[in-house]
Amino acid sequence: MSCLTRKLQQKLARYVQRNSDSFNSQDPELIREELVNKGICPSDVTTDQLILIMKEAEIA
């Protein structure tokens, strides 16, 4: 599992929370792919880490 700093995790959680309506799906893998493709999320962030971020953002 990649190292995800607390600061990056918080920034990703805020982004996911603010933009949750714009995601095409609620599937964490698809959201991770969208974030990586947009250049917002590092590609080494795992789906499990994104699930935790989504829980922190209160959308999962």
Residue matched to tokens 């699930």? 51
First to last CA, the chain: 21
pTM score of the predicted model = 0.81
Read off the pLDDT of residues 34-49 as tens digits, 9 standing for 90 and up.
999 999 999 999 999 9
- Binning pLDDT at 50, 70 and 90, where does residue 23 land? confident
pLDDT above 90: percentage of residues in the chain: 60
Per-residue pLDDT of 48-60, as tens digits, reads 999 999 998 887 6
**CA separation for the pair 7, 16 (Å, rounded):** 14
Q: How many CB atoms lie within 10 A of CB 18?
A: 10
